[in-house]
Amino acid sequence: MQLGYLIPTVLAGVLALSGCGGEAPAPAVPTAPVPTVEELQPPYNEADVDAGKSLFGRQCASCHYVAAGKGHLVGPNLHGVFERGTGKAAGYNSYSPALKNFEHKVWTPELVDQWLLAPQGFVPGTGMFFNGLKNPEERRDLIAYLLIESRKP
Residues that bind ligand HEC (CB under 6 A): 59-60, 62-64, 74-76, 78, 81, 86-89, 95-96, 98-99, 107, 112, 115-116, 126-130, 133, 142
CA distance 57 to 117: 18
CA angle 15, 18, 24 (to 5 degrees): 35
Identify which of residues 88 and 140 has a Cβ nearer to ligand HEC in the complex. Answer: 88
- Between residues 13 and 105, which has the closer beta carbon with respect to ligand HEC? 105
Q: Minimal distance in Å, beta carbon 67 to ligand HEC?
A: 14
| Closest approach of ligand HEC to the CB of residue 38, in Å | 22
The distance of closest approach from Cβ of residue 129 to ligand HEC in the complex, given in angstroms and rounded to an integer, is 5
Nearer to ligand HEC, 68 or 128 (CB): 128
**Quick check: 52 and 141 in contact, CB under 8 A?**
yes
CA dihedral sign of residues 8, 153, 57, 72: negative
Q: How far is the C-alpha of 90 from the C-alpha of 71, rounded, in Å? A: 10
Nearest distance from residue 11's CB to ligand HEC, in Å?
32
Q: What angle do CA 110, 115, 117 make, to 5 degrees?
A: 95
Burial of 7 (0-12, 13-18, 19+ CB in 10 A): exposed
Nearer Cβ to ligand HEC, position 53 or 64?
A: 64
| Residue 97, CA atoms < 13 Å, CB-side half-sphere | 0
Give whichever of 44 and 107 is closer to ligand HEC, judged by the CB atom: 107
Closest separation in Å from C-beta 40 to ligand HEC? 16
